[in-house]
Amino acid sequence: MTTLWRDQPVGLVGLGLIGGSIGLDLRAAGLEVRGWVHRQATAERASQRGLASQVGTDPAVLAGCGLVVLALPLDRLLDPAAELIAALPNGAVITDVGSVKGPVLQAWHGRVPRFVASHPMAGTAAAGVEAGQRDLFRGRPWVATPLADTDPEALAVVRELATLLAAQWLECAAAAHDEAVALISHLPVLVSAALLQAAERGSAAAVAGGVPALVRALASSGFADTTRVGGGNPELGTLLARCNREALLDALSDYRGCLEQLEGLVAQQRWAELEATLAACQQLRPPFLKP
């Protein structure tokens, strides 16, 4: 019975934003939660915040867990420490929270028998042991990317976890997931970063032309919004581009085609078509937004 996993402790490897938020919700639901972290100071703070019932820097803390969530940064998830592998309880269901699924499956499929690749699509700008919060996953998608030989009972356990956290369960192929997040998350970072670069070069040219700080002075909320993700964490942006390179390059190519089409309408002064295209874009956006 899949529901039995709740009677055993749930292990969390990492108690940052995702791990800590899972811990808080699971403990509120009355489950026993064991957290493994690297540093003693983190362990102490995580205990103070109640992110897990028991927190340790020794992987032995995971002993007896029926479900272990690998809530690690993507690079550490893709290159797991030997002591982590050794500490995972035999027979436990193992899942991850990585934001690119193809490489995670390459790294983990076959390494542990009951592995389920999954990705809760929730987050804030915060990170670290202070970042975990209640209800982070409520109403947010939790995507699993099972393979043909993924243990169906293990998949059901992870689904129950997601449901317990009030997330919206989705299943798809890893490639479809990775293409989707390339379009939705990783492409916008580069699109937005390039806008910052273009504006900065224009600003520098204006200053050189004797117009001090004009471009910067004129920037308003529209520019601020469009450049937010391009001005985000550079390590994370690079890591995601590296781990999802093929899908990102495809998305960039699609994007370039769309932008060139718009540019062509402006160059050729096809104003009625430009207006129709922008009107279509106006209609496109609401379904992408959360209710």
Tokens of 95: 């899942």
Q: Tell me whether residue 22 or residue 61 sits nearer to its own copies (CB atom).
A: 22
Closest by alpha carbon to 206, among 217, 196, 195?
Answer: 217
Q: Count of CB atoms within 10 A of residue 86's CB?
A: 8
Which position among 84, 185, 208, 291 is part of the footprint of its own copies (CB under 8 A)? 185
Residue numbers 236-255 binding its own copies by CB under 8 A: 237-238, 241-242, 245, 248-249, 251-252, 254-255
Which residue's CB is nearer to its own copies, number 92 or number 167?
Answer: 167
Binding to its own copies, residues 148-177 (CB under 8 A): 168, 170, 172-173, 176-177
C-alpha–C-alpha distance, residues 258 and 55, integer Å: 50
**Sign of the CA dihedral 216, 221, 227, 229?**
positive
Task: Kindly state the tokens that stand for 8.
Answer: 């055993």
Please, which of residues 48-77 interact with its own copies by CB under 8 A? none
Subset of residues 113 to 132 that bind its own copies, contact rule: CB under 8 A: 121-123
Candidates 31, 84, 256, 291: give the one binding its own copies (CB under 8 A): 256
Of the candidates 117, 131, 136, which has an alpha carbon nearest to the alpha carbon of residue 28? 136
Q: Does 204 engage in binding with its own copies (CB under 8 A)?
A: no
Instruction: State yes or no: residue 40 binds its own copies (CB under 8 A).
Output: no
Residue 84 binds its own copies (CB under 8 A): no
Q: Which of 89, 46, 37, 98 is CA-nearest to residue 67?
A: 89
User: Considering the rule CB under 8 A, would residue 21 count as an interface residue with its own copies?
Assistant: no
For its own copies, give the closer residue by CB, 138 or 228: 228
Least distance CB 42 / its own copies (angstroms): 25
Q: Is 291 among the residues that bind its own copies (CB under 8 A)?
A: no
DSSP symbol at 148: T
Position among 30, 90, 287, 291 found at the interface with its own copies (CB under 8 A): 287
Q: Does 222 interact with its own copies (rule: CB under 8 A)?
A: yes
Mark the segment that binds its own copies (CB under 8 A) among 3-11, 15-23, 27-35, 203-211: 203-211
Query: 104: closest CA among 174, 11, 15?
Result: 174
Indicate whether 79 belongs to the interface with its own copies (CB under 8 A): no
Q: Which 3 state secondary structure label does DSSP give 69?
A: strand
| Residue of the chain from 72, 95, 289, 291 that contacts its own copies (CB under 8 A) | 289
- Take residue 135 and report the two structure tokens written for it: 């209800």
Number of residues located near its own copies, criterion CB under 8 A: 96
Query: Of the candidates 86, 148, 282, 291, which one interacts with its own copies according to CB under 8 A?
Result: 282
Report d(CA 59, CA 61) in Å as an integer.
Answer: 5
> In the numeric block, which tokens belong to residue 15?
């108690």
- Residue 169 identity (one-letter amino acid): W
Per-residue b/e over 87-114, b at no fewer than 16 CB within 10 Å? bbbeebbbbbbbbbbbbbbebbeeebeb
Helices 40-49 and 17-28, axial angle in degrees (round to 10): 40
By beta-carbon proximity to its own copies, the closer residue of 31 and 165 is 165
Judged by CB under 8 A, the residue of 58, 75, 83, 263 near its own copies is 263
Q: Compare residues 41 and 219 and give the one whose CB is closer to its own copies.
A: 219
In the list 143, 161, 167, 174, the residue contacting its own copies (rule: CB under 8 A) is 143
Q: Residues with Cβ < 8 Å from 123, sequence gap 6 or more? A: 17, 18, 136
